[in-house]
Chains A and B, each alone.
Chain A
Amino acid sequence: MSDSVAPARGAETPAPAHETVVEMRGVTKRFGSLAANEAVDLQLFRGEVHALLGENGAGKTTLMNMLFGLLRPDEGEIEIRGERVELDSPRDALAHRVGMVHQHFMLVPDFSVAENVVLGTRSSWDMKLRRRDVESSVAEVADRFGMAIRADQPVADLSIDVQQRVEILKLLYAGAEILILDEPTAVLGPVEVDALFATLRSLAEQGAAIVIITHKLREVTKIADRVTVLRHGKVVSRARRGELAEAELAEAMIGHALPSPPEGEARPAGPAIIEVSGLTVEGDRGEAAIDGVDLELRGGEILGVAGVEGNGQVELCQALCGLRPPRAGSIVVDGADLAGSGPAAFSDAGIGVVSDDRLLWDVIPDFTLADNLALSRVRAGKYSRGGLLNRRAIQRDAEQLLVDYDVRPPDPNALMGRLSGGNQQKVVIARECSAKPQALIASHPTRGLDVGATEFVHRRLVELREEGAGVLLNSTDLDELLALSDRIVVLYRGEVVLEARADSLDVRVVAAAMTAGRGA
């Protein structure tokens, strides 16, 4: 690991075009009996943006984890700059100038930008840490690559897209030439995506080799010079820019044509189930994450909440299920103002929740499926008989629900933690929908799910609507929102800046509202 503080790359070095910088040959990785990658060949060139396309579970992240030293291949070899390498750790990978930006950022929130960027660059045994020197050297590199970041700012204060740029800067500072980005647009709005792609294109022009792991077709067509499609761990298709249409890529990715989103009939909305007025909710750092919001969730409609992540959606949803008492305003359900009551009151009022972080809020991995399905009902006393729990009823109800909602394995005594993400989400949906809620607050219900599971969730949400319930759908996936919602509100800096019927909306209008607050 180089001891020098200044990284080696510079914009002055001319970039040789299309020089092969990484070659992976016959790479295979198994976990038990499952082959996450099988005989994968991949070539990365300097100066190009390469997309690794596939569904969740196709093996894209596993493959790149091997290039980044987090995993070792069971078979096959990896060559970097013509030299065969065995990568044991991210440190090894970085020594070969390979860097990865993960989906969940690896930043220390309390540290400044500079502290985060230089974290791994010096040994612990180097004694003196001069903050000022470090900050100026980081600022210099940021300038050189055209990234507008202040080196002394605490990372926690930065918006998500800037944090992502800090992650990229980390790699550049350490001298990485091969940049891997794992689902980089998952948390970005349309304008931020364009900015990211501009940055990536500029880095590629300076000679970097960039890989984007993604399952979004639109991005592939927008930015990728070449694309490799993975399915079930194998390479099923390769193409250069423009060679394949979106539909063909989609078919390669999932093996059959993309299903169309469920049809919803236009229908008049029912009575208001949740009426929110003047809602102000505090965020984690005391700021007004939601500032004076009025909205209404009516029965028989899906209300989509759009916005770039970090504009108050999380806080809004938490307030609507009782997790975060608002500072001001009212949340009226069935004539009663529930603002300030805890989750129990909301649940008793018939408001169901699907949170955006299943493992944290929705399920208890160490409990059985039966206990997870019974979670809120037990609390409400529905299984209590004379002070004791009616375990037989819990088991029986669980068995039925697992079959009805096609959960695999349909074993009430299986531990929740052992299920796949898709099946876990099915259990959550089973629990919430079977309770016949008046309203469901759903945040990113399809995040991390594959096409089949996503379709399942969408169908259930539409079903709820047909039954007369109101569904509040919070998602940063505009396609999902526009396809499912009857009405859409856009949150910007904690305020509603746009509210309209979905069928009358243009994507560009919504995007403008999301990123600049311009709305009707």
Chain B
Amino acid sequence: MNHGVAVTILSSGVALAVPLLWAAIGEVINEKAGILNVGIDGVMLTGAFVAALILHDTGSLLLAALVAIPAGALCGLFLSFLYVKRGTDQIVTGLMFNLFIVGVTTALYEKYLTSSERSKSLSEVGIPLLKDIPIIGPALFDQTVLVYIVIVAAIAVAYLLRGTWFGLHLAAIGERPLAGDTAGLDVRRLRSIALVIGCSLVAVGGASIIVTQGGNFQPNITSGQGFIALAIVVLGRFRPGWIAFGALLFGVSTALQYQAQNVSWMASVPVQVWLAFPYIVTIVAVVIAKRAQYPAATAIPYREPGTERS
């Protein structure tokens, strides 16, 4: 494998990692508060769809990315009604939510977007000087704006979780909600807020797929990236630094399929293997991460003590 191909793989890897990283940092907030949002893929799909729709209507890449935020927030509200207010099982609710979104977005796509042929995406913006560093230079510092923004966002989320009272409260209710409740925290409201914020970020991840890869929506365009983000979160042990690394790992493993034909030994392997590579890497990562623990109260709906079952 020559130098140029390696750089290209790394570079595409970083770009492909962006949606995963957005989704992962959003999901960290949810899971820290004790919600396992299996509906993450549906939220990403929602973000992707509305971005494609706005892009089709207005041609503005910026607007397309921004509109994902309220779309994701709405998803978060809807999910919080189910997960928090009604206390439904999070895993099956998330799965059905995904099914719902697939149905809605596919139907809307076939009605409104099949005719749109776009090839508009964000262009790279290089950071002077830094981008000339060999190998990592072009890979990290000659990327679209979204890459730089997501890194800032990841740092912001890290600060939110570790350096604020809000983060402390989230950690408490994710670990031992009863302790938070008796300390006076409103467990349900905090979880809802976490969901709204978290899902907004996840939706931006979906929008970033559209905005960086040509602007065209396809049914099920997320192809499981939401679930890969779930794996990244637990692998990264809920620390945004490790999560960013994990996202990069998966981004690179996805990038391989595009370069496979350029490298002789890689081209001799059936192309399906490279397409399957990110999924296999995810499985391996989940196995390795078995020691990583979710917060103790994850995926368990919280019922205040002393309340009668509704």
Contacts and interface: CB of A to CB of B under 8 A. Distances in A.
A127 B166 CA distance: 7
Interface stretch (B101-109, B179-187, B241-249): B179-187
Interface string B157-170: 00000011111110
B172 interface: yes
B176 A108 contact: yes
A120 B180 CA distance: 7
A129 B184 contact: no
Given A119-B185, A124-B190, A129-B163, A110 B175 contact: yes
A383 to B, nearest CB: 31
Contact of A70 (B164, B169, B193, B306): B306
A122 interface: yes
Given A108-B172, A109-B176, A119-B172, A129 B182 contact: no
Contact of A107 (B167, B176, B181, B305): B176
A282 interface: no
A161 interface: no
Contacts of A119: 168-169, 172, 179-180, 183, 185
A106 B306 CA distance: 16
Nearest first, the 7 closest Cβ-Cβ pairs linking A and B are: A120-B183, A120-B184, A91-B184, A106-B179, A119-B183, A124-B166, A106-B182
A123 interface: yes
12 contacts: A71-B306, A89-B184, A94-B184, A100-B182, A106-B183, A108-B175, A109-B175, A119-B183, A120-B185, A124-B193, A125-B165, A128-B163
Interface string A95-109: 000001010001111
A129 B172 CA distance: 14
B95 interface: no
B299 to A, nearest CB: 18
A91 B305 CA distance: 15
Nearest to A104: B178
Q: Classify chain A: how many residues form its interface, as a range.
A: 20 to 34
A170 B183 contact: yes
A181 B167 CA distance: 30
A57 to B, nearest CB: 16
A48 interface: no
Given A90-B184, A120-B183, A108 B171 contact: yes
Given A70-B305, A90-B181, A170-B183, A124 B172 contact: no
A371 to B, nearest CB: 22
Contacts of B184: 1, 89-91, 94, 120
What's the dominant secondary structure at chain A's contact region?
loop
Contacts of A115: 168
A109 B174 CA distance: 12
What's the dominant secondary structure at chain B's contact region?
helix
A106 B176 contact: yes
B307 to A, nearest CB: 10
Contacts of B168: 115, 119, 129
Contact of A90 (B167, B171, B182, B296): B182
Contact of B179 (A89, A100, A107, A128): A107
B182 A102 contact: yes
A116 B179 CA distance: 9
Interface of B: 163-169, 171-172, 175-176, 178-185, 190, 193, 296, 305-306
A106 B169 contact: no
Contact of B167 (A108, A120, A129): A129
Of listed A94, A126, A129, residue having the most chain B CB within 10 A = A129
A337 to B, nearest CB: 30
Contacts of A126: 164-165
Contacts of A116: 179
A106 B183 CA distance: 8
A206 interface: no
Of listed A71, A102, A116, A124, residue having the most chain B CB within 10 A = A124
A129 B175 CA distance: 19
Contact of A111 (B171, B182, B190): B171
Nearest to B163: A129
Contact of B164 (A94, A111, A127): A127
A65 B305 CA distance: 11
A1 B190 CA distance: 17
Contacts of B296: 109
A162 to B, nearest CB: 17
Given A70-B306, A71-B306, A129 B165 contact: yes
A489 to B, nearest CB: 33
A126 B172 CA distance: 16
Nearest to A107: B179
Nearest to A94: B184
B33 to A, nearest CB: 11
A127 B182 CA distance: 22
A123 B171 CA distance: 14
Given A106-B179, A107-B179, A128 B164 contact: yes
B241 to A, nearest CB: 19
Nearest to A32: B308
Nearest to B183: A120
Contacts of A125: 165-166
A65 B306 contact: yes
B165 A127 contact: yes
Of listed A91, A119, A120, residue having the most chain B CB within 10 A = A119
Contacts of B190: 124
Given A100-B182, A127-B165, 4 more contacts: A108-B176, A115-B168, A119-B168, A124-B165
A108 B179 CA distance: 6
Contacts of A94: 184
Nearest to B304: A70
A444 to B, nearest CB: 21
Contacts of B169: 119, 124
A407 B169 CA distance: 44
Of listed A110, A115, A125, residue having the most chain B CB within 10 A = A110
Of listed A70, A94, A106, A123, residue having the most chain B CB within 10 A = A106
